[in-house]
Structure 1
């Protein structure tokens, strides 16, 4: 049986055609009554008081029950092994110090000063819980209360976007409508407004299936408003986690494809959490040294691990997920000395030409530039080709024969004049027959189509 495939854009382009203006198309072809903008939530937010660090962060560490969590961890591992879901890490050769390429993986544990404790040991579980011990007792509950989630559902789908990612999120919504929602009942879809404009909010209201909520930045410490640190993400996921059996986080770039829903949910129930892997980029090089020190460990112990993407996160509500994944993750975001620690913003730029632990602290857009096969000089040319909606770039990405890594850079461009479409089409090496799809999605007068079609050399019969 085939599981539902998760498609990440731009992380993995798997052939989905981007639908520009999906919500606008729904508005045009359905008799949805237009809703008035509801300010009741905003009023309720204004009545609640802003949290400060004195309510969240403790000046002294407090002890948490570790023995019980060790038992939960061991039970989970035993279950996964029994059901043949557990897999061992692929062995890597020992590091020699002569490795040149940044992406060459090797086992560097011999260089570590201290041994890595066993995964199911009290010491390791205590290290995992480090951020939890640095918070005030009840801090996680106070953070969750800020979001004021009342209803309970079996399935909760949660996303968030600002105005510049709204178009991209429409295909995410389309894949939910096509592949997921028709097969479920008792679900909710939450869309957090992180800076949408009025017309975008209006389209979401007319869509009718999403509960639109303002992200409560004004009730959280100011550092949560710095979006590039991503401290805002785990706290909003946690807010919904205890109100659903299954919680799904989707970035605007997340996609579902068709597959077997039952198998996906069964697997998620066994594992507790599913992420989309990124089996190429070295975790130890892309995480700051401060983070390893914070968790009482060393980067060399993690030399054989790749990154995982957080574009799509699937969670099942069970003690393992809540206590050993969500609580530590949310606590990392709340502690100002962890996920967005002092100096973290200076490490957003990542140099892929050097091999060094802690050389950067995960800034996705800058990394996309480094990942490309383009000469850096080309990066300066691309911004000059502005004025195509970002949504349109995704169509070009998925239809081109260019290396996908190169196109990751193009995703950052926007608003290209329609007159330059022909240049792009010629660059893509895409089958000429697919030009018509792009033309249909453009705003150019249809009278100008003939010029482009004549230049394409496309047989007239298919038209």
Structure 2
């Protein structure tokens, strides 16, 4: 299995599992574990990676250190090996098996591309996603070569699906529908992602305040270890296709999505809203954003700021910005080639 296929499949696992794991009971959404063992006859397993090889590459990226909150006991110092084992130990054999089964269900993507741009949409974000695609067509794609674009369907209607042309990389760029790029910024951003391994959006809130206790237990962390961790946003992430990114960040993140005790441990209706104006731990939950922040904190302690790009200031989040771009493209294609502007 190619490394990019692993990354692409892992990014989709969260949406696939959460959509599959829901059942409606008296108009309430209940999340439960789904047994995937009946799919084990699908051929081709994930290639194993040795711990020592992963530790060697991860060690090149980080130097040890920690920050603390005054009200909490001083944290004990840990080695890089202990940090890495702490992340990998969150993945149970059952969840790893389920992830392996799910990843084998995804077709092999085209190869040879430097960059893969990935987003997802549903009916309630359909026009917001069209505005993102319009922005990519104007400010990103004309400036680069050797790229591909993937749009995951998370719940489009039949008519919407006909409009969306679902088309796959050394760098994977995840974008929420609200992401917008300034012109002429994509090249330095891609180069920066290669240097850093990942590029994240900065954050200001405490992960300890935005994480449920059940997820803390799964990640083997507590309020004191997560209180000083700043919550980087998961609306825009760039991943360089390196072993430590695949195996120590994306894979535990995807396994967390498979587990019923990690990314979405209960009905999101009760936990989505976070009042940032009150200081209270475990008051809400940020799902995929919570999980990846804890994984990075376990690996890099107070050095997660090394993933903040200077070029990110030229990437905006415009929630609610919509555009009927597919209608515009259809009207343009209806004009005879010789008469198009």
Give TM class, smaller chain. 0.5 to 0.7
Secondary structure of 1:147's aligned partner: coil
**1:153-302 counterparts in 2 under 5 A?**
153-205=113-165, 210-211=166-167, 244-278=169-203, 280-302=204-226
Q: Determine the C-alpha separation between the residues in 1 that align with 2:268 and 2:123.
A: 25
- In structure 2, how many angstroms separate the alpha carbons of the residues matched to 1:283 and 1:261? 29
Match of 2:53 in 1: 68
Once residues 320 and 197 of structure 1 are traced to their aligned partners in structure 2, the CA distance between those partners, rounded to angstroms, is 38
Q: Would the alpha carbon gap of residues 262 and 348 (structure 1) be closer, same or farther in structure 2, given more than 3 Å must change?
A: closer
8 Å Cα contact 1:130-1:328 kept in structure 2: no
Distance 2:49 2:221 in 1: 20
TM-score by length of 2: 0.64
Secondary structure at the residue paired with 1:332? helix
Where 2:201 maps in the other structure, the secondary structure is: strand
* In 2, Cα distance between equivalents of 1:342 and 1:194: 20
The equivalent residue for 1:16 is none
Partner of 2:102: 143
* Alpha carbons 1:245, 1:317 under 8 Å: kept: yes
Return the offset for 1:322: 0.5
* 1:200–1:69 Cα change, 3 Å: same
SS of corresponding position for 1:287: coil
- Identify which range, 344-353 or 290-299, moves more after superposition: 344-353
Structure 2 distance, partners of 1:261, 1:130, is 36
How do 1:75-90 and structure 2 match up within 5 A?
75-77=60-62
Number of aligned residue pairs: give it: 252
Three-state SS of the structure 1 residue aligned to 2:252 is: helix
Residues of 2 paired with 1:274 and 1:157: CA distance? 14
Structure 1 distance, partners of 2:130, 2:96, is: 40
Sort the Cα spacing of 1:54 and 1:116 in 2 relative to 1 into closer, same or farther, 3 A. farther
Partner SS for 1:307: coil
State the Cα RMSD in Å. Answer: 3.4
Alignment gaps of 5+ in structure 1? 1-50, 58-62, 82-87, 92-106, 212-239, 365-406, 415-463
1:149-201 deviation line (CA, Å, top 9, x unaligned) = 33123221111111110111112111111121112223221212222223323
What secondary structure, in the 3-state scheme, does the structure 2 residue paired with 1:281 have?
A: coil
3-state SS in 2 of match to 1:282: coil
**Aligned match of 1:108:** 69
Larger RCO, structure (CA 8 Å, separation 6 or more): 2
Counterparts of 1:270-349 in structure 2, within 5 Å, are 270-278=195-203, 280-342=204-266, 346-349=270-273
State the Cα deviation string for residues 66-110 of structure 1 (Å, max 9, x = none).
4433322211226xx9xxxxxx99x7xxxxxxxxxxxxxxx4265
> Post-superposition shift, 1:121?
3.0
SS of residue paired to 1:160: strand
* Equivalent pair of 1:116/1:297 in contact (CA under 8 Å): no
CA contact 2:95–2:259 (8 Å) conserved in 1: no
TM-score by length of 1: 0.48
Q: Residue by residue, what CA displacement relative to the aligned partner does 1:411-457 show, whole Å, maximum 9, x if unpaired?
A: 59x9xxxxxxxxxxxxxxxxxxxxxxxxxxxxxxxxxxxxxxxxxxx
| Per-residue deviation, 1:137 | 5.3
* Secondary structure in structure 1 of the residue aligned to 2:105: helix
